[in-house]
Structure 1
Amino acid sequence: MAVSKELRGRKVDISEPLPAVQRQASRRPATRSATETFLIGYPSSSISGSKLPTNRQAFQYFLHLQSLPENTGNPKHQDLANETVEAIIPFWQMARIKTMTKYNAAQHFMTLHKKHRDLARNKGRTGDPGGKRSAFVLELDSLFDIGASDTIQEIERNRLLSREKKDKDISKQRGLQDCSIDYSMKMFMFAEQLEYDEETVVKLERLNLFLGLFYTPMWMSSTLAADAPANDLQFMKDMMKFKRTDPEIAQAVLQKLENHKWYLTQEVVPFALFGSRLSDKKKQDIAAKLHATEKPDSFRRGKPMFPQVTAKTTLADLVGPESHLLLDTLGIEYDWLLQPVATWPRSDDYSKALEYVSNVKVVNDIAERGVKMMTDFANMITTDSQQKQYLLQTVEYNRERFDSFKKQTLKK
């Protein structure tokens, strides 16, 4: 074949675009085998899945971009690498994991691309000198890791601080439980990079299964007092069923819940009448049981009695004489309880009770936060128990004297 003077003696980079005449002459109808790329497979027009993308997915999307009509002029690989990274970064953002800069992520891809290009030059060889080809195939199916340089160290540091309970600042952040869940999930996602042993990985998997299926949904609705009875009862029943899957975790949770059945007591279970979790049938059962239960002459004081809960327990089963406390305290008539649930909103008595229950604060976290703040405040000033009593009396006295902390008030 004759070589033109312009091309004679010139080294041609295989990454350079072919001259237009040669490109048109070599164009043939695409077949599946023609679109397959050595070691990588076929182009993919999207990146999908429930996990962070792998190196292979990044390559397949890169190949798709390369095959688009507007890219037939073979633009710089760096531009296509930037587009590939832009498609992958949102997956890391959804996982709330800090990433390296887009430029560095694209350079990371180009490093992998160079490895592939070097191997492709020798794809005709039957052997695998040095095992480079096998190593690259394994690398293809591993995570396309564009995490920031300090991501792993941050996860490990948070894990250690959580274990030793030395991180005092994190307890002041809103959503501490959300952070703990987030760390557990990230630890499981990066278990391979963190080099956890098999036992730790199995425990993390069990923990995240519990967090994802049960704990997180309960936590997201834990501030709704009207739904608390239905939530707590369902949670306990779920754990009884979960015993068949993971008896150790389920039993530990059930033991903990035994000390937190406040919203299943006779006094509070009527809150469920105003929630959104129950069907009309279940609400009607609670209403009928309450209406049929005789109201006591006086209501008991002190700590409410926790009920015994089984897999067959219903909220209606938990209604008792003390369940009249809510309506009696609010001075509400009972007529609407015998009406169909759909008509309840027309009753002024129902609306009054609904307004009250909707504004009730779920006290667990609020009370614990208040106790923690009071403890910290007292311990900063004195550790002597007698002096603490004097301190609290002084604080109470000043609150009675000053209704605000404005300068004008304090100058009086």
Structure 2
Amino acid sequence: MKTIYVILSLLFTGMSGIAAQRAKSVILVYLDGGPAQTDTFDPKPNTSRDYFGNFKGVIDTNVEGIQIGEKLPLLAGIADKYSLVRSLTHGVNAHETGHYSMITGDLSGGSVVYPSYGSVISYMKKDSYKGILPSYISVTSANSRFNEGGFLGNEYKSFDTGGQPEKAQYEVEGIMNKFVDKDRMDKRMSLLGEFEKLPMDKDLIDSLRNVNMNFIWGESREIFNLSNEPDSVRERYGKTRLGQSCLVARRLVEAGVPFVNVRTTGWDTHKKHFQFMNTMLPDLDKALSALLIDLDQRGLLDSTIVLCGGEFGRTPRVMWEAPWNGGRAHFGAAFSYLVAGGGFKGGKVVGKTDKTGENVAERPVYPCDLIGTVYLLMGIDPYGKLPHVSEGDLPILPSLLDKKQSNGLLYEIIDVKK
């Protein structure tokens, strides 16, 4: 089986082993804590209340035969723009190792700490990306320490914006600060000029100053200025942390940033799960559907991969007993991701779980299978190598070479037509 997938990779990428690039950017909408697949992209209405809980209803999407959870009506109306992977699995039920699995694709259990796929993409695009903004940005914060550069180094870790994009002014770390206006900054630069009269490498100082000032007061500053977006657009995304973060992500890919991580928290719902989901799922529905439609209308969806999911799913069986009072626990055996754009087909479903959603029934998909497909569409060879300072060249995705940790790239939902 592995030989077949390697042959398919060579056929798709060409004998050089380098993929024909379809995508220019990736937006990962990361539901930190683990969303419940049975309440979102893999509903089980024919079970019992012990499984569907308070959300028995499902919605027919605009693609015949595909249904999703009742709290996602806006996404149901645009199912032709995305596909669902319902058979993701890694068997990990701990947050830290779950994050590592889904952010790096590494299930090898070795001593080497792999970089996140945002870091890998940042490293691989270092020569082609010419923007002044960092090539890997997290809005508003990274998911965990595994968003760092791993053995590639901190040069390729994510830049965390901080701040609150839903506020009147989005204060981005190192760029936007309501206490420092242009006049005050000019005075600071004047003072700096006095220091620069001392003996020093003037060309180097000028170069660094120009880069920093362009970063702080140049076009990059306006990318984070959401006040110049029509209010109707901001309302469409939802004036929540998630909604405005997704709007920022759209603006960042418009600026050419290769990888944007949108982190939203609160999905670790061990207790009172359905009470939380009554608010969180409509917010997700509004933000994610607006992002997909906006990208499509602006001609960016074909070149932008959008992913949505977390480090694992949640237990299909509801924990009604105290102290959980209707909660769902961590569940890495079977969960779902939404994938769209950048060469992914829309209106498709990959994989299947059993009648209760507790086991993968068809086409297991491992983290490296998903991430490797993203690499392929970004023009990166998923069977290639990365340099390690002491170990030499290492496989970019070691798990992709192990049949127990991989079931092959997602060729069935790749649109190979140019």
Structure with bigger RCO (C-alpha 8 Å, 6+ apart): 2
TM-score relative to the length of structure 2: 0.19
Q: Say which structure is richer in helix.
A: 1
Q: Which has the larger radius of gyration?
A: 1
If each structure's strand is expressed as a fraction of its own residues, which one has the higher value? Answer: 2
